[in-house]
Amino acid sequence: MRYAETGFSLEVDLTRGNIERVETDPEWTQLYLGGLGTNAKILWDRVPPEVDPLSPENLLVFGTGLLCGTPATGANRTIVSTFSPQTRLMAYSMMGGFWAPELKFAGYDRVIVRGRSPGLVYLWIHNDKVEIRDAGHLHGKGALETAERIREELKEPKAQVLAIGLAGENRVFYASIEHARSSASRGGIGAVMGSKGLKAIAVRGTKDINMARPAEFFQLCQQVLDYIPKRAQDPVKGVPPILAGIGSPQEMAIHDEKWHTTGFAWGHARRRRKDFWTPERAVEWKQTQDQAVERLISCYNCPMKCGGIVTHPELPTRKYMMKCYSKLTYVMAAMVDDLDFGFRIAGKAQEYGFDGYTTPQVMAFAIELYEAGILTDADMPGFPERNDERFFYLLDKIAHREGIGDVLAEGVYWAARKIGKGAEAYDHNTTKKHEQMPIKLGMLNPIFFLMYATGEKISITQIEGQIPQAPLPKDYREEFVKDWVHLPTGKEARFKKFILEWGDEDKRFPFWPPMDLVCELVDWMETMHYIDDCTGICAGLSSFPIKPPYHIHNLPLFLSHATGIDIDEETLWTISRRVRQLVRAVNVRRGLRRKDERPPQDHWKKRFPELEAQLLDQYYAFKGWNREGIPTRKSLENLKLDFVAEDLIRRGILTGGGGTPSEATATEAAHK
């Protein structure tokens, strides 16, 4: 018997209409755990680098974390992996909700979709019965509406459904996959699903997930549940309310939006409005939010209430579910000061199935081009005067890929190049062809520099966490580090010292802290995220907040007791590193190099090119990568990734000695 996992993948070939239940190799669990790790291995093995993301040969993998479906609190993440039409690299987006546990209960650890269906279809998985069903009648339907309709026609109110909206069907490069109160949004994976002719996957499962050491495992779960309310009573001091607690940012519950509205940039990631948050605004926004949010809701088996049921009189969809900071992304990008606009447009955008981070930026970019005369009324007939109306106008055009919408549907990077006439100069906030967080700050932050530059998820919030984002108040630092049990073994003294000193005279960015410490901190944060992405535990309870319930000391126990495979801290660290290395290799094979690893030029006003180059050099070396950012043969072999090293050498990406043939040009690029 397999523990914690089912031991089976569901292989679906939409071209031939073939469905197979395939037993997986138990060794993979030891090497990659599950979730992202196994997805990366599958993509490495089965999708050659020349495959076009929107072609039938691309795979779309819906993975579940190894702990999904166990009683571990918050283990509910679906990890969707494929290749992005926008970045052309591995797209790797995740969502909470209920889908992953349901799939496990149906008897599968993942669904691997390949090929392309001749007509629009959806997949219905009910334990051992799996059907490809016609979805012609769902063409153009909203993502949430699709889920409702499928549940009705199957007469299965308990089925969990993920679906794309019109944006995905039309292969918009930032189309999301929507499910319940969650979405897997980044990288345009909704477009890949659309390219396969797959509208939705509905799943209902009534089988068991087994625990290897039930009593021990359950005790761990109870410790986590005991910790959560205690932690809520003990918020981290000296940080904005949004960062003081745990969970995904509590945007549906918290009214104080000073941090986002004054700290993040408005418009097309252009300027901060430090005086935006006034007492009057606070009252007005609170009213709007209280009217809109009917109930706070959660994902499967998690007490954190990060989501909300939103109702709005003008919404055609009656209600929808929202989480995190998408209530603000449209507001701020459109420069509309009314929070009500945010709730209104996010509802529509969710039915279309749009990424709430990229979409507002693309639309703000279009408005900039219009105001600069690069786009004209000829490109945008009937373009309204007001920004809120303009956003609705653009949203419709992009979802339908109509007129200018067809160009904008490929995101800022590609659209700028298609439009030409100087539009390229307006592409100022992308990294690796993907829209970044709209943050513009003063002084270079070496920690965030490395995360922006090298993060494979290409979305910064996905690898940060554990440490505060700014120095803590001096008189609080001692108290903060006292019960900081989360630190990796051997790093305790060093990381505590960092917190105690940070912010003191001469202990400020960018030349402090020492580079080796910067590397260690970034590596720690990233490692914790990679673990979560393999276990399916929500980052909101683990890698994202400060002092979370899950950490490097209890996670190995969770995994050991769940699976029966003994995993200690060091082993877990090694697995995480292996997965990280594999994801990097997948992207390196598709052409990712040092020259691509650049945060937006205007992200910080004060930049230090030499320091940045040194940081990259040092971090690459720390990670076991050469100066081009390519994993070295030795580091791959140390992680039992010999097959990766062999392939990279065979392709001439690595030399037999493990170096890179084009090292000189890379250094040049880094210093540009």
Partner 1 sequence: MAEKKKKTVKVIKIDADKCNGCRACEAVCSAFHATPKYSSTNPARSRIRVVCEPLKNIYLPVYAGEYTPAECSGRDKYVIDGKQYSECDFCRASCPSRDLFKEPDSGLPLKCDMCEDDPDLEEPLCVQVCLSDALVYEEREEEVEEQESPEELEIGLEELAKKYGKQKILDAVSRIYGNREN
Residues that bind partner 1 (CB under 8 A): 69-71, 73, 98, 105, 144, 148, 157, 180-181, 205-211, 214-215, 217-218, 225, 228-229, 294-303, 305, 309, 311, 317-321
Distance CA 44, CA 519 (A): 27
Radius of gyration of the chain from its Cα atoms, rounded to whole angstroms: 24
Residue closer to partner 1 (CB basis): 19 or 309: 309
Helix (H, G, I), strand (E, B) or coil at 64: strand
CA 638 from chain center: how many Å?
28
What is the smallest separation between the CB atom of 417 and partner 1, expressed in angstroms?
A: 40
Measured from the CB atom, the residue of 8 and 484 that comes closer to partner 1 is 8
| Nearer of residues 174 and 227 to partner 1, judged by Cβ | 227
- Rounded Cα distance between 60 and 162, Å, is 13
Q: How far is the CB of 667 from partner 1 (least distance, A)?
A: 51
Kindly report whether the peptide bond that precedes residue 510 is cis, defined as omega within 30 degrees of 0: yes
Both structure tokens of 471 = 């120095």
**Tokens 């252009």 correspond to what residue?**
270
CB of 177 to partner 1, least distance (A): 17
SS3 at position 277: coil
**Cβ 291 to partner 1, closest distance in Å?**
14
Q: Which amino acid would we find at residue 101?
A: P
- The set of residues, in sequence order, having a beta carbon less than 8 Å from that of 539 and lying 6+ positions away, is 248, 462, 465, 529, 532
211 or 363, CB closer to partner 1? 211
What's the min distance (Å) between Cβ of 219 and partner 1?
A: 9
Distance of alpha carbon 480 from its chain centroid, rounded?
29
Query: Tell me, what DSSP letter sits at residue 470?
Result: S
Tell me the closest approach of the beta carbon of residue 541 to partner 1, in angstroms: 12
Q: Least distance to partner 1 from the beta carbon of 101, Å? A: 8
In the bound state with partner 1, the residue whose beta carbon lies nearer, of 320 and 413, is: 320
How many CB atoms sit inside 10 A of residue 402's CB? 12
- What type of residue sits at position 15? T
CB hemisphere CA count around 165 (13 angstroms): 27
Closer residue to partner 1, CB minimum distance, 134 or 152: 152
For the bound state, the minimum distance from the C-beta of residue 12 to partner 1, rounded and expressed in Å, comes to 24
* Nearest in space to 179 (alpha carbons), one of 107, 111, 100, 109: 100
CB of 298 to partner 1, least distance (A): 4
Shorter beta-carbon distance to partner 1: residue 95 or 645: 95
CB of 299 to partner 1, least distance (A): 7
Residue 536 φ/ψ, nearest 5 degrees:
85, 10
Q: 73 or 117: whose CB is closer to partner 1?
A: 73
The angle at the Cα of 68, spanning 107 to 642, to the nearest 5 degrees, equals 90
Q: According to DSSP H, which parts of 409-554 are helical? A: 411-419, 446-454, 477-482, 492-501, 515-535
| Closer by beta carbon to partner 1, 455 or else 549 | 549
State the nearest-atom distance from the C-beta of 142 to partner 1, in Å.
11
Residue 292 host element (H or E): helix 279-292
| 554, 56 Cβ separation under 8 angstroms | no
In the complex with partner 1, the residue whose CB is nearer, 211 or 472, is 211
**Secondary structure letter of residue 354 according to DSSP:** B
CB 156, min distance to partner 1, A: 10
Smaller CB separation from partner 1, 206 or 278:
206
Nearer CB in complex with partner 1: 106/331 = 106
- Closest CB to partner 1 among residues 75, 531: 75
Instruction: Quote the least distance from Cβ 231 to partner 1, whole Å.
Output: 12
Cβ atoms of 116 and 16 within 8 Å: the answer is no
How many angstroms separate the CA atoms of 234 and 186, rounded? 33
List the structure tokens of 69: 């479906």
How many residues are there in the chain?
Answer: 672
- Compute the least distance from the CB of residue 1 to partner 1, in Å: 10
Among the listed residues 389, 410, 382, the one whose alpha carbon sits nearest the alpha carbon of residue 398:
410
- 295 DSSP β-pair partners: 309
615, HSE (Cβ side, Cα atoms, 13 Å): 32
- The CA–CA distances, whole Å, from 72 to 36, 101, 180, 504, 561 equal 18, 11, 20, 40, 11
Q: State in angstroms the smallest separation of the CB of 456 from partner 1.
A: 30
Of the candidates 375, 669, 622, the one whose C-alpha atom is nearest the C-alpha of residue 516 is: 622
Judged by beta carbon, residue 26 or residue 229, the one nearer partner 1 is 229
Nearer CB in complex with partner 1: 220/423: 220
Hey, is 425 helix, strand or coil? helix
Separation of alpha carbons 144 and 127, rounded Å: 23
Residue number, 105 or 413, with CB nearest to partner 1: 105
Distance CA 534, CA 576 (A): 8
Residue 657 Cβ vs partner 1, minimum distance, rounded to whole Å: 50
Rounded to the nearest whole angstrom, what is the least distance from the CB of residue 297 to partner 1 in the complex? 5
| CA dihedral of residues 530, 536, 542, 544 (deg, nearest 10) | 60
* DSSP state, residue 3: S
CA-based nearest residue to 537, from 355, 304, 211:
304
The nearer residue to partner 1, 76 or 436, going by C-beta atoms, is 76
Can you list the alpha helix ranges (DSSP code H) found in 33-154? 35-46, 99-106, 143-154
